[in-house]
Amino acid sequence: MSCSSATPARKRYERRVLTLMLVYLPTIFLTGRFVRHHALQGWLLYFWSILPAIPVIALIAMMGRYLQEETDEYQRVLTVRALLVATAALLGTLVVDDFLRSFASTAIPPFIGFTIFWLSFAIAIGVQTLRDRAAIHD
Amino acid sequence: MTNRLRILRAERSWSQQDLADRLEVSRQSVNAIETGKYDPSLPLAFRIARLFALPIESIFSDS
């Protein structure tokens, strides 16, 4: 294993995420153009609306693949803990959104749930890494 | 669970990174085990024991 803190599985995961982002960006751009400039209806509208979700869903699948490939069990535990924190934050957001819809006839803006999920994940990973760094003894 | 990993490592003048490389885990993992933040799985505990040529119970104890 190299001296870098990232494990080989983590490096592969990061490469895959980067590739997916390179697919996602033109997809969201094309979708925006098609939906705005063409009066799409029916299955074509559904197709273009759902298209950008595919690389995002693949992102979640890549996380699953990373967890399968990661041979460093502690890194796996850190990732699973962060995923639990992110899932809790997402569920909390969805519950708030549901009550807002039910009683206030309003809703949280689109994509907030997804943003909150990955933001919470990143914060949880960061906090654990800082905590471990503070405790390093050599 | 407590362990003697840091002592055993120091006896061999290994850094955490040296031990991590030998165990094929990250330095963060070695640090977490040494500081008692993380208890290794049985397979990893066996790998550690084999590396130091010691029985598991002489490295890890549940006291």
pLDDT of A3 strictly over 50: no
Residue of A nearest to B43 (CA): A73
Main-chain phi, psi angles of B2, to 5 degrees: -110, 160
Interface ipTM > 0.85: yes
Q: What global pTM score does this model have?
A: 0.85
Distance CA B21, CA A67 (A): 21
Q: Which of B6, B24, B25 sits opposite A137 (nearest CB)?
A: B6
- CB neighbours of residue A60 within 10 Å: 11
Q: Given B16, B24, B29, which is nearest A74 (Cβ)?
A: B29
> pLDDT by residue (tens digit) across B29-52?
999 999 999 999 999 999 999 999
Count CB-CB contacts under 10 A for residue A128: 19
Q: Which one, of B51, B63, B52, B23, lies nearest residue A73 by Cα?
A: B23
Amino acid identity of residue A56, one-letter, is V
Smallest CA–CA separation between A68 and chain B, in Å?
15
Lowest mean pLDDT among A89-93, A127-131, B13-17: A127-131
pLDDT tens per residue across span A4-17: 568 899 999 999 99
Query: A92 and A105 in contact (C-beta within 8 Å)?
Result: no
CA-to-CA distance for B8 and A125, rounded, in angstroms?
A: 30
- Cα–Cα nearest to B49, from B26, B28, B31, B33: B33
